[in-house]
Structures are given as C-alpha cells and as structure tokens.
C-alpha cells in the first residue's frame, strides 16, 4: 500500500512536469508551424505575363481558408510589396473569400536576392471589436529588381492553449490509466499476500501440530530414557538382594541394608526425574542455586552405581580438594552429567575405568571444566558434532536423545559441551559451566550472567 501511495505521488509530480513540457512543446510547435507557413508564402513567385502564376494568387484566399481549417489558430495573412499591400485575408471576415488588393505589376523579377529570418512578435489585434492576442510572423524577401516583399501571418495565441489542452488531455488519460494499473496491481498484490498469509498460517498450524507430536514423542522417549536407568538399577539391586537373602550360609544384614538403602535412594532419584521433566516442560521456571559441583558429580555416579557394578566399570575422580561452587539450576546439569555417564557406560569395555576430572578451565578461569572419558571405541571426528543432534545413535536399542538432552541442559546452564578424542583410545566429553559469583559481586562479574 505504501508503494501505491508513493507511486501515485510520483505520477502526480510527473503529470505536472509533463504538463509544463506539453505547454512548451505546444508553443514550439505553433512557432514552427507559423514560421514554416511564412516561409512557404514568402517563397511564392511574383506574377508575370509569361508563367501565369496570377491564377495562383487568385487562389490564395482559398489556400488561406484551407490552412485555417488545418490550423485553426491562423487569423490573417497579408502580403505587401514596398509597403503596398498586395493581399490581405482575415479569417472570419464576413466579406468574400480574400481580397487581392493590388495585382502584382508585370515584368517584375522573381529572382530572390535575400530572405530575412522569420521574426515573431506578440501583438493585440482588434477583431470586430474584440481584442485578440496574436503571434505575428514576418519575413522580408529582397528581389533583384530592388523591390521588397513582406509576408505577415497572424496566429491566435490561444491556439497554443488548444494544442496544450489536447496534449494535456492525452497525458491525463495516460496517467489515469497508469494509476488504474497501479491500483489493480496493488489489489492483485494484496490478494496474493492475503492468500499467501492464510496459506502460511495453515502451514504454521500444521507444523505446530507436527512439532507438538514430535515433542510428545520426545517427552515419551525422554521418560523411557530417564526411567530406564534407575529402574534397571532397582532391578539389579533387587536381584542382588534376592541372592543375598538365599545364601546358604544366611543373609548378611550389612549387605542387605546396603542394597535396600540403595534401592530407596534410587527411588528418591526417580522422584527427581519427575522434577527434571517439569523443568523440560517449563525451563524458564528452573531456579538457580549455589551448590558444590563435586557433590553433584558424586551423586550422579551414585545414581548409576548399579549399572557400573553390573558392567564391571570403575569410576576414578580427579577433583580439587576445595568446593567447586557453581550458581545455576542443578536439575538440568545433573541430567547432562547422568546422560554423559550413561553414554560412557554403554560404550566402555568391561573392567575398564571411566575418568571424571574437574578443574578450572585453563582457557577461561571463570569457568569450570568437567571431562568424562572412557576407553570405548571413541567417536570419529566427522561425527563429533552430529552425536549431539536429536535421534542420532549407533545402537539399535538407543533413543538418540541422551547427548542431545545433555547439550540442551548444558546450554540452559550457560555452558558448552564438546566431543573429543582421547589419547590411548576412547571418547572424551568436555563440559564447561560458569563458576558461581563471589559473594558481594555483581551479576556482570559472571561470564554467563548467572
């Protein structure tokens, strides 16, 4: 619509400019026609007895009337020799057609010595009691016998306005046609836009429904993924508790208490999974808190203790002796660490070690760096970015959501996650999270604004 308004304004300005151009062109055309008619009459030969052009002079009034019909602005024609009028014809004169005032004398020479340029002046003509502005065209022609012929033509000045009005009307119609075309184009554009917007809305609604279905499927897979680990741990602990109860020499109370306590703690962590799922549906409501990153890592390992024991894997910690304080939402970070550990358990060979190292990031001391390494087959360099995408997995029974959800959780904490190779073989997953702000510092002191 703005384009149409600008186009109409442009056409209006263009119309005014063209009106001035039309007026100038009409004036030039009248001047050119008057000058050409003057030269034409000035070029007519003088009558003599030998060539019989006297008949042409007798027909001159009819020629003038014909020129008037062709050029309505022609008002009068006058021819004189040495100041004596030979011919005068006033358009609109009620008398007979033309007046041959004095016949040209015989034996005058028709050879022209010099013809002056046509001059144009503006004069007021008294036409039957009415003052009419006219443009007067004059030309002087000198002959070899010494006589001088003067040709004078008067053209009404309002003939310029007539020509201008005709041309202006044509231009006006062209501009109206252009405006109509613009309006039709605007209507077509608006129609196409409305149709496209409605189509895009339908596509957006369909895409939103598909995203909802995809999200529902992802949530379902997430629930399966998150409950599979603790449920497997509970199952393994229950089996070991059953074997302990059936020992021929009798159950050991200490061992049964350990297994029962571990089952209770696993069930408590399953309750924490529900809280994490609530975070997944409402991430903006996750509350940041200050906690020790070392305890979080140990708690995540304890969550997977049964799986580690069943896979005959051992975890070795390399962490600082002092607390590693962070100030962020713990559930998403715990989810990321558990998923990375679960991935390591799935690929590490039996009787190997999973290394967990926590230290300040040497590249940025405002960050903590967590490295979890295993001695499995490793991740090819070409796939180290793709493993964090949704539904990417190398195991038939895998969901392809573990590392994807880990990256989403770490990103929510303001950190990063990378997949790297490891010296001696295996995979190394590196996480970075911002350190907690020192007491009394402003939020701007934290690199991630947590």
Residues in contact with 166: Cβ distance below 8 Å, sequence separation at least 6, in sequence order: none
pLDDT at 293: 94
- Judged by DSSP in three states, 394 sits in coil
- Tell me: the pLDDT tens digits for 154-184? 877 777 666 666 666 776 777 778 778 877 8
More confident of the two residues 134 and 228: 134
Choose which CATH entry (3.40.50, 3.30.420, 3.30.450, 3.40.30) describes domain 2-156: 3.30.450
All CATH 3.30.565.10 domain ranges in the chain, comma separated? 283-445
- Tell me: the pLDDT tens digits for 349-372? 999 999 999 999 999 999 999 999
Q: Name which of 78, 69, 67 is nearest 33 in CA terms.
A: 67
- Tell me: the pLDDT tens digits for 242-272? 888 888 888 888 888 888 888 888 787 677 6
In this predicted structure, the answer to whether residue 442 has a pLDDT above a threshold of 70 is no
Residue 383 structure tokens = 């796939």
- Judged by DSSP in three states, 83 sits in coil
In this predicted structure, the answer to whether residue 448 has a pLDDT above a threshold of 70 is no
If pLDDT is split at 50, 70 and 90, which confidence band does 277 have?
low
Element spanning 277, H or E:
helix 253-281
Distances (CA, A) of 290 to 145, 369, 450: 124, 17, 10
- Tell me if 421 sits within 8 A of 428, measured CB to CB: yes
Determine the Cα–Cα distance for residues 321 and 408; give it in Å rounded to an integer: 29
Q: What backbone torsions phi and psi does residue 327 show, to the nearest 5 degrees?
A: -125, 85
Residue 41 structure tokens = 């009459």
- The residue ranges of DSSP E strands in 229-339, in sequence order, are 289-292, 314-318, 325-328
Q: Which fold has domain 283-445?
A: Heat Shock Protein 90 (3.30.565)
All CATH 3.30.450 domain ranges in the chain, comma separated? 2-156
pLDDT at 289: 86
- Tell me: the pLDDT tens digits for 69-99? 655 677 788 888 788 777 777 776 655 444 5
pTM of the complete model: 0.44
Determine the Cα–Cα distance for residues 359 and 293; give it in Å rounded to an integer: 10
Q: Name which of 341, 335, 338 is nearest 313 in CA terms.
A: 341
- Judged by DSSP in three states, 58 sits in helix
Q: Name which of 251, 369, 247 is nearest 318 in CA terms.
A: 369
pLDDT at 132: 80
- Tell me if 124 sits within 8 A of 133, measured CB to CB: yes
* Percent of all residues in the chain with a pLDDT value above 90, rounded to a whole number: 17
- Tell me: the pLDDT tens digits for 57-71? 656 666 666 666 655
pLDDT at 42: 67
In this predicted structure, the answer to whether residue 449 has a pLDDT above a threshold of 50 is no
């Amino acid at each position: 619509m703005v384009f149409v308004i600008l186009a109409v304004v442009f056409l209006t300005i263009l119309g005014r400019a063209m009106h001035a151009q039309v007026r100038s062109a009409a004036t030039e055309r009248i001047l050119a026609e008057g000058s050409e008619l003057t030269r034409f009459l000035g070029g007519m030969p003088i009558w003599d007895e030998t060539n019989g052009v006297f008949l042409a002079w007798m027909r001159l009034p009819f020629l003038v009337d014909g020129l008037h019909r062709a050029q309505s602005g022609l008002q009068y024609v006058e021819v004189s020799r040495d100041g004596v009028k030979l011919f005068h014809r006033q358009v609109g004169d009620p008398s007979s057609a033309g007046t041959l005032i004095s016949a040209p004398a015989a034996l005058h020479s028709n050879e022209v010595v010099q013809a002056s340029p046509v001059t144009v002046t503006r004069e007021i003509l008294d036409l039957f009691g009415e003052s009419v502005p006219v443009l007067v065209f004059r030309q002087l022609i000198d002959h070899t016998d010494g006589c001088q012929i003067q040709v004078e033509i008067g053209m009404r000045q309002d003939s310029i306005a007539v020509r201008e009005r005709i041309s202006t009307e044509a231009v006006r119609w062209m501009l109206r046609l252009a405006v109509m075309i613009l309006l039709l184009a605007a209507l077509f554009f608006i129609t196409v836009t409305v149709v496209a917007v409605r189509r895009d809305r339908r596509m957006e609604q369909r895409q939103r429904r598909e995203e909802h279905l995809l999200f529902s499927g992802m949530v379902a897979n997430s629930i399966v993924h998150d409950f599979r680990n603790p449920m497997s741990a509970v199952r393994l602990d229950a089996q070991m508790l059953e074997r302990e109860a059936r020992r021929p020499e009798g159950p050991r109370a200490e061992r049964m208490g350990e297994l029962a306590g571990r089952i209770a703690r696993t069930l408590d962590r399953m309750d924490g999974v529900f809280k994490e799922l609530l975070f997944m549906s409402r991430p903006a409501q996750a509350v940041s808190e200050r906690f020790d990153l070392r305890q979080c890592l140990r708690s995540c390992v304890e969550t997977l203790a049964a799986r580690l024991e069943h896979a005959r894997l051992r975890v070795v910690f390399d962490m600082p002796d002092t607390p590693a304080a962070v100030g962020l939402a713990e559930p998403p970070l715990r989810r990321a660490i558990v998923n990375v550990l679960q991935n390591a358990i799935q690929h590490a060979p039996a009787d190997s070690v999973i290394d967990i190292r926590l230290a300040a990031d040497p590249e940025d001391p405002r960050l903590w760096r967590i490295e979890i390494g295993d001695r499995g087959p490793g991740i090819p360099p070409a796939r180290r970015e793709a493993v964090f995408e949704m539904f990417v997995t190398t195991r038939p029974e895998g969901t392809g959501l573990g590392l994807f959800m880990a990256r989403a959780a770490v990103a929510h904490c303001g950190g990063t996650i990378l997949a790297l190779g490891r010296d001696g073989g295996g995979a190394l997953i590196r996480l970075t999270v911002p350190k907690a702000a020192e007491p009394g510092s402003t939020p701007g002191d934290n690199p991630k604004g947590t």
